[in-house]
Amino acid sequence: MSRLLLAWTVVAMLGICAAAQAQTRAGQIDALMGRYAGDGPGASLLVVKDGKAVIRRGYGYANLEEHVKTTPATNYRLASVTKQFTAASVLLLQQDGKLQLTDPVRKWLPELPASDATITIGNLLDHTGGLVDYEDLIPADTKEQIDDADVLRLIATQNHLYFTPGSAHRYSNGGYVLLGLIVERTSGMDLADFMRQRIFAPLGMQHTLLYEHHRGPQVDDRAYGYSRVDGKWLRTDQSVTSATRGDGGVYTSIDDMQKWDAALYDDRLLSAASRQVAFSAHEPLDDPDFSYGYGWRIGGDGSLWHSGETMGFRNVIVRWPQQHLTVVILSNRNHGRPYPLAVTIGQLFLTP
């Protein structure tokens, strides 16, 4: 056998092996995602390796009432995965010289009480501000959705904190609502407009938006949230807190999340310094394997991730930047734990 023929034979065999491996891996993933398949509310899954979408598919239904199946273009409410976009907005304004992370929050939100005088923007970003949870301040008989201005008013009624700012970590949705308001006051733009003009449009995330139910625009290819109640799927798409924005209001698809993930490797959006501070461990969490950055949880293995849970939606993005691997799961059901599932899927692609 000539050397050339031998070389071509080896290449062909390697191709066959790679195809078989990919087919086996796809079967494993479909089995893992089986809970979302069928005629119930579903999920969209994205696996990006070395800049390419090696897995990109939908399972189940985005809209049960109208029998609309999920696709890679289906848009889900991100819930707390939104926080990385809010943090990026703040970091962009720091790059612009409009604010500093050491600024007292009351510089931009003077409505806050004197007890909040030492809270900085950085404290809100890594959840070390000690703010009282606004969810606990909402009157029990509230029927109408509250908005960001309502959150500010509720927090402003409190003249105490859980702890001295910077001394501990306590996850705070209210802190990220306040960050969204700071973006508005610093930039002079509505938060939805700022994110569209400074993040979504430049990255080509054409179907991503910060949803504002009172003024639109409406969400295209929208997944609606569901919960299992008495053995049946009940639409539970909105709650009293579903109208707040900086802590959870972005809608997007896995296709647009691939564009967001790509931008986190270079300077097209955030500078190297901004990415470094966002992805650095600022505060340890209760789990010793994780710390918190700015809108990201930091794993001891170098992974970056954040989950998002709200009425009818459970989502996660997990990134292993050193291996150029990302897994995104967006789902429209109030059940399941996407984070361990995403890690399991990611391990199929991680090199030893």
- Tens-digit pLDDT profile for residues 11-32: 445 455 555 666 678 889 999 9
Whether 2 has a pLDDT exceeding 80, the answer reads no
Instruction: Answer for the pair 125, 87: CB distance below 8 angstroms, yes or no.
Output: yes
User: Would 352 be classed as within a structural domain?
Assistant: no
User: Would 296 be classed as within a structural domain?
Assistant: yes
Please choose, from the candidates 304, 309, 307, the residue with its C-alpha nearest in 3D space to the C-alpha of residue 293.
Answer: 304
Domain around 291: 39-347
Confidence grade of residue 302 (pLDDT, cut at 50, 70, 90): very high
User: What angle is formed at CA 93 by the lines to CA 101 and CA 111, rounded to 5 degrees?
Assistant: 65
pLDDT at 283: 80
Whether 250 has a pLDDT exceeding 70, the answer reads yes
- CATH number, domain of 244, equals 3.40.710.10
User: Would 12 be classed as within a structural domain?
Assistant: no
**Omega before 217 within 30 of 0, i.e. cis:** yes
Cα→Cα distances 138→147, 240, 279, 341, Å:
11, 9, 33, 33
User: Would 274 be classed as within a structural domain?
Assistant: yes
User: Would 336 be classed as within a structural domain?
Assistant: yes
Instruction: Answer for the pair 316, 339: CB distance below 8 angstroms, yes or no.
Output: yes
When divided into structural domains, the chain yields a total of 1
User: Would 29 be classed as within a structural domain?
Assistant: no
Cα→Cα distances 325→54, 262, 318, 345, Å:
10, 10, 8, 11
User: Would 34 be classed as within a structural domain?
Assistant: no
Tokens 């691997």 belong to residue: 325
User: Would 20 be classed as within a structural domain?
Assistant: no
Which residues face 120 on adjacent strands?
A: 104
At residue 126, φ and ψ (nearest 5 deg) are: -105, 15
Cα→Cα distances 114→83, 156, 161, 170, 185, Å:
26, 10, 11, 20, 20
